[in-house]
Amino acid sequence: MIIRSKAPLRISFAGGGTDVEPYLSEQGGVVLSTTIDKYAYGSIRFRDDRQITVTSLDYDIVAKYSLDEPLTYDGNLDLIKATICRLNRENSDQGLDFFLHSDAPPGTGLGSSSTIVVALIGLFHRWLHLPLTNYDIADLAYQIERVDMGIKGGKQDQYAATFGGFNFIEFYHDATIVNPLRVPSDTLNELHYRLLLCYTGKSRLSAHIIDTQIEGYVQRREDVVRAMDELKQVAIDLKNALLQGRLDDFGALLHRAWVNKKKMAEQISDAHIDELYETARKYGALGGKISGAGGGGHMFFYCQFDRKHLIAAQLERLGAQIVDFNFDFYGLQAWQVR
């Protein structure tokens, strides 16, 4: 028997950064995002011995561990090992093969690392029939990544990957509220037709960018605090524009989000990213932004429909790779193969 799972990656329209402590607890954060049809996948196969193997296509690693020895954190697949340690305590005699991969590797701004953890939890959830709600799964993924492993970042990725679809997510000190958005199909089709997703050609380490952002907020730098407050408002305005079908306003608000996002940390953009963005605007994009913490990874643009092909050609000329995608509405899924 084999158990498989998949969890969708996400693009974040606005609010990213307000889901990070201590801003989250002190001010409350909001994020507007959607999941897309790019996934993190996991599989469990059961063994007859007391070994655990982890095969990661993303890192081209096959790691082997014995159940007779504790898993040690040595910089190789530590996040995966932390998840296994959390969830395999009651079944420590069962040998397991794990096989993990993602449609977009870590560091590309689509929430890959958190989504892999969600997919891995989904395997255990299906195998062990754990009494976990979607909120429990998302929070557990957050605890493993941010608390157990101390990896800097926010909360949005875990909730987006677990719930799936278009969500307006509110983050507070003692609660997270996922508000699924019922966007009319006409609006969804037009939004998809007008959006252009591309890979900038380089990945990045988001933790360094987030450290700078947190430092700016803790020091109460006026430009950083004002930008984060503005991003909250933009996320609310984007949600309203989306639900009301005001998509050109949606595109313009994306530009406003990008302008404020860049104020939170200087590493969020660089000369290449700025060139991609300004070129897209020059050729007909109403707005856009980088997805995730910044510094590289994926960008997306809301385009005038008759200029989208021109924008794509210019971005490719500058070294970006256009990515076909559609929206995902299902979130985390797991199934059994006999």
CATH number of 272's domain: 3.30.70.890
**What's the rounded mean pLDDT across residues 206-228?**
85
pLDDT of residue 239: 98
- Short-list 119, 123, 130, 129, CA closest to 3: 123
Do 154 and 8 have their domain in common? yes
CA quadruple 214, 287, 104, 327: dihedral sign: positive
Do 176 and 213 have their domain in common? no
Do 115 and 199 have their domain in common? no
Encode pLDDT of 312-328 as tens digits.
Answer: 999 999 999 999 999 99
Do 224 and 141 have their domain in common? no
Do 153 and 266 have their domain in common? no
**Residue 205 pLDDT greater than 70, yes or no:** no
- pLDDT tier for residue 265 given thresholds of 50, 70 and 90: confident
Cβ neighbours, 10 Å, residue 50 = 15
pLDDT of residue 39: 97
**Tokens 């199934």 belong to which residue?**
335
> Are 33 and 169 in contact, with CB atoms under 8 Å apart?
yes
**Residue 89 pLDDT greater than 80, yes or no:** no
How deeply is 118 buried, as exposed, middle or buried, from its count of CB atoms within 10 A (0-12, 13-18, 19+)? buried
Do 139 and 117 have their domain in common? yes
pLDDT of residue 145: 94
Encode pLDDT of 6-52 as tens digits.
Answer: 999 999 999 999 999 999 999 999 999 999 999 999 999 999 998 99
What mean pLDDT value characterizes the chain?
Answer: 92
**What's the rounded mean pLDDT across residues 110-115?**
92
Do 30 and 86 have their domain in common? yes
Encode pLDDT of 274-314 as tens digits.
Answer: 999 999 999 999 999 998 777 788 999 999 999 999 999 99
Percent of the chain with pLDDT over 70: 98
Q: What type of residue is 72?
A: T
CATH for 96:
3.30.230.10
Whole-number Å distance between alpha carbons of 165 and 183: 10
Exposure string for 53-73, b = 16+ CB within 10 A, e = fewer: ebbbebbeeebebebeeebee
Do 242 and 283 have their domain in common? yes
Domain holding 35, by residue range, is: 2-182+328-337
Encode pLDDT of 124-135 as tens digits.
Answer: 999 999 999 999
Compute CA distances 5 → 58, 66, 101, whole Å. Answer: 16, 24, 11
**Residue 107 pLDDT greater than 80, yes or no:** no
**What's the rounded mean pLDDT across residues 83-112?**
85
pLDDT of residue 74: 85
Q: What DSSP string runs through 116-168?
A: HHHHHHHHHHHHHT----HHHHHHHHHIIIIIIS-----SHHHHHHHH-SEEE
Q: Which residue has the higher pLDDT, 73 or 333?
A: 333
Compute CA distances 114 → 118, 186, 217, whole Å. Answer: 6, 31, 24
Whole-number Å distance between alpha carbons of 263 and 241: 24
Do 272 and 300 have their domain in common? yes
Number of independent structural domains in the chain: 2
**Residue 91 pLDDT greater than 80, yes or no:** no
pLDDT of residue 167: 98
Compute CA distances 210 → 70, 136, 331, whole Å. Answer: 31, 25, 26
Find the DSSP H helices in the chain: 23-27, 78-87, 112-128, 134-142, 156-163, 185-194, 206-218, 222-243, 247-261, 271-282, 308-317
| Residues catalogued as catalytic | 157
pTM attached to this predicted model: 0.94
pLDDT of residue 133: 98
Do 232 and 156 have their domain in common? no
pLDDT of residue 160: 98
Do 170 and 199 have their domain in common? no
Do 248 and 141 have their domain in common? no
Q: What type of residue is 128?
A: L
- pLDDT tier for residue 58 given thresholds of 50, 70 and 90: confident
- pLDDT tier for residue 69 given thresholds of 50, 70 and 90: confident
